[in-house]
Amino acid sequence: MIDFSFTKEQEEFREKVREFAQKEVEPRRKEWDREGKSALPINERLAAWGLLTADMDNITRGILTEEVAYVDFNSAMPLVWATMPFVLHQLPGVPEEVKKPIQEGILSGKSFLALCFAESGAGTDMAGIKTSAVRDDEGWVINGTKNTISWVNADYYFVCAKTGDEEEGIWALTNFLVPASFPGVSKPKIWKDMGSKGAVRGTVNFTNVRVPLNYMIGEMGKGYLLAAEFFDTNRAFIGLKCIGAAQASVDESCLYAKKRGVMGKPIAGYQAISFPLAEAQTLLEAARLLCYKTLWMADKGVRHTTEGAMCKWWIPEITFEIVRKGLLTHGQYGYTEELPFEQRLRDILGWQIGDGTAEPSKLLIARSMMGKEYVG
């Protein structure tokens, strides 16, 4: 049986999140964006409201993501990462006495764990990672540089490093827990991005950083698999963040179109205004269904690589265009910083890049359709 409805509990959760977003997020949105301040304090506020829990299923996390992004795209990003149950957050293999305080800190909004996969020569192609981890009798010694790290000023780093030979490709990769306080971890170099300023990004150097043997996350040589599992699901959350921002733009444009008059009638009466909004709402409904189907698959333990790739390449593109049209509907005023359209455009544009550009996602889809032996 197919059921497209949310449960009563999920609808009640949605209402609470809407209230939270209006009271806690909206008043800070401009400040965080204009001053490039981290939106991480929002995690602590969500925890104080009793809405940040470790046992949240992916569908409920999707509701949280979409509703907060409706008010501020930036604030949705740390909430997605903080609410578990990403396998990366479970830190398999790390002793309980080490990982439990980290997880509790994340859930209380007082600490953060940043992912360190990308390098200057290795983004989508993780086989190109050069950061190394060498084992000796006392532990692992990590050397390398990681870039495009979101929340680069985090308390802990999840570092993917090479532990095998070059010819092993992605099967030479292993993940490690590296506290930012450990000797050899550099002070982050923060980038000045045009958007998503609430997720401070940048670069960190790891120079002869020594970590204990039991700080290895998961199995040796299985680092890529943990990353792939994360990306498959996270791409649906990226889609919902974009949908939240675009839906707000459509709703605001509808209200404006009913109020703004031209030649004796509201501009909503002109098809040049109403039809693009109707098209936008149709696209958003289709995109929303795709995202929640992907999260439903994740909750069921069904592989969802193809669906995640669809979310990733398509939704940031259509939502960028939807927000752009919303800006134009508001005329010159829409082009100012007084309205949130310009921020939404900058924020969404970054996710046409982050977690993989459109081309690798399309490649994944094509392979699922025709087979890897036929498609690259």
pLDDT surpassing 80 at residue 295 = yes
Read off the tokens for 31. 């400040």
Mean pLDDT estimate for the chain: 91
| pLDDT computed for residue 116 by the predictor | 94
Virtual CA dihedral for 349, 355, 359, 365, nearest 10 degrees?
-120
| pLDDT computed for residue 137 by the predictor | 86
Task: Assess contact for 285 and 243: CB atoms under 8 A.
Answer: no
The neighbouring-strand residues paired with 204 are 146
| pLDDT computed for residue 84 by the predictor | 61
Higher pLDDT, 82 or 333: 333
Q: Which residue has the tokens 């592989």?
A: 303
| pLDDT computed for residue 44 by the predictor | 84
> Does 8-85 carry CATH code 1.10.540.10?
yes
pLDDT surpassing 90 at residue 196 = no
pLDDT surpassing 80 at residue 1 = no
Higher pLDDT, 53 or 96: 96
pLDDT digits (tens, 9 = 90+) for 302-335: 999 999 999 999 999 999 999 999 999 999 999 9
Whole-angstrom Cα distance, residue 366 to residue 376? 9
Read off the tokens for 344. 């939404």
| pLDDT computed for residue 216 by the predictor | 96
pLDDT digits (tens, 9 = 90+) for 6-56: 999 999 999 999 999 999 999 989 888 888 777 778 888 888 898 887 778
| pLDDT computed for residue 129 by the predictor | 93
Domain ranges of the chain: 8-85, 112-221, 225-370
Whole-angstrom Cα distance, residue 351 to residue 242? 8
C-alpha distances (whole Å) from 35 to each of 110, 192, 301 are: 21, 11, 41
Cis peptide before 340 (omega within 30 of 0): no
pLDDT surpassing 90 at residue 370 = yes
Fold annotation for 112-221: Butyryl-CoA Dehydrogenase, subunit A; domain 2 (2.40.110)
pLDDT digits (tens, 9 = 90+) for 100-138: 999 888 877 788 899 999 998 887 788 889 999 999 988
pLDDT surpassing 70 at residue 86 = no
Strand 201-211 to 156-162 pairing: unpaired
| pLDDT computed for residue 85 by the predictor | 56
pLDDT digits (tens, 9 = 90+) for 231-253: 899 999 999 999 999 999 999 99
| pLDDT computed for residue 356 by the predictor | 84
Task: Specify the pTM.
Answer: 0.93
pLDDT surpassing 60 at residue 180 = yes
CATH architecture of 225-370: Up-down Bundle (1.20)
pLDDT digits (tens, 9 = 90+) for 218-227: 999 999 988 8
